[in-house]
Amino acid sequence: MLISPLQLSDTRHMSGAFSVIGVIGKFGKSNVAEVLSAYLQKRSVEVIIDDSASAAFSDSPFRFSNSDTIADQCDLAIVVGGDGTLLNAARSLAESGVSVLGINLGRLGFLVDVSPSRMVKQLDHVFCGEFTEEERSLLQTTVIRNGAQIMESAALNDVVVHKWDIARMIELDTYINGQFLNTSRSDGLIVTTPTGSTAYALSGGGPILHPGLDAIALVTICPHTLSNRPIVVGDAAEIEIIVKDEGGTEAQITCDGQVNLPLLSSDCINIRKKAHKLRLIHPPGYNYYEILRAKLRWSEHP
């Protein structure tokens, strides 16, 4: 088995003996579901198909259920689609410790790195125990309004507090471990994990953080003060953001671009590292820097 520097201490999959497989995804018009179904039927494994993918496996003998069942009963979840599909799955699977493998149906992804054309061969490697397993940190976010918690969500990529459908800046107070950082007037603030550093935060001028770093980055979106710069802190930090706009704010919070909530003035957003990490596995040959070069087109000539 290939071991990454981010190897988990839990060794229940060291032999590669995955026995209960969950399948989650958006298959569209591809034939990936047909190929994957035939492949899994040839192996001595139990398969649970998420309800959202049931139409693609209507002719299969597999059991159908929801993501909660997959989290409770599976030791490997195969997620088919794009990075967004995996982000959604990660929030429900990370706490259970299910290993996750991403099969890419869109453009090259940072998280879903198995191509359909190589899927069967790479699944063979995975089921033989030849894979790299790493941990990816998530953020845990709560929103407090008038002393009461009104929202709680995890995020694998980022938590963003941002303006909402209006061409005006919002004002935010930010604290790190109880110490005041700054008051910013801007289009918003991105709080990102290393995984999410190549997403929205990158387009906002934030740094690329290797997924193995124990860090969180804060990136202001279009700040009014040009001296405002991204800051990176340790992932043990507790971050508090207070919405200050007394004139009636038009702001919202978004987790991974998928979970949204409108915000009011004086709302308090608390962000910290989630206690559980995502177990993400890759077939042999996975190279984070190679994906960076391809996604960011670093190898192209001017």
Which of 258, 219, 264 is CA-nearest to residue 246?
264
User: Quick one: average pLDDT of 27-53?
Assistant: 94
DSSP H helices, the chain, are 32-41, 67-73, 83-93, 119-127, 200-203, 288-296
- The amino acid that residue 67 corresponds to is S
Q: Lowest mean pLDDT: which of 178-187, 277-286, 293-302?
A: 293-302
**Dihedral of the alpha carbons of 266, 261, 79, 131, in degrees to the nearest 10:** -10
Distances (CA, A) of 25 to 46, 66, 70, 76: 18, 12, 13, 14
Average pLDDT, the chain: 91
Q: pLDDT band for position 14 (50/70/90)? A: very low
Is 268's pLDDT higher than 80? Answer: yes
Provide the pLDDT for residue 23. Answer: 98
Question: Yes or no: is domain 139-273 CATH 3.30.499.10?
Answer: no
The owner of tokens 């992932």 is 235
What CATH class does 20-137+277-296 carry?
alpha beta
Domains of the chain: which residue ranges? 20-137+277-296, 139-273
Tens of pLDDT, residues 92-114: 999 999 999 999 997 777 899 89
Q: pLDDT band for position 153 (50/70/90)? A: very high
For the question of residue 83 being annotated catalytic, the response is yes
The tokens for 124 are 């063979």
Among residues 50, 83, 245, 256, the one annotated as catalytic is: 83
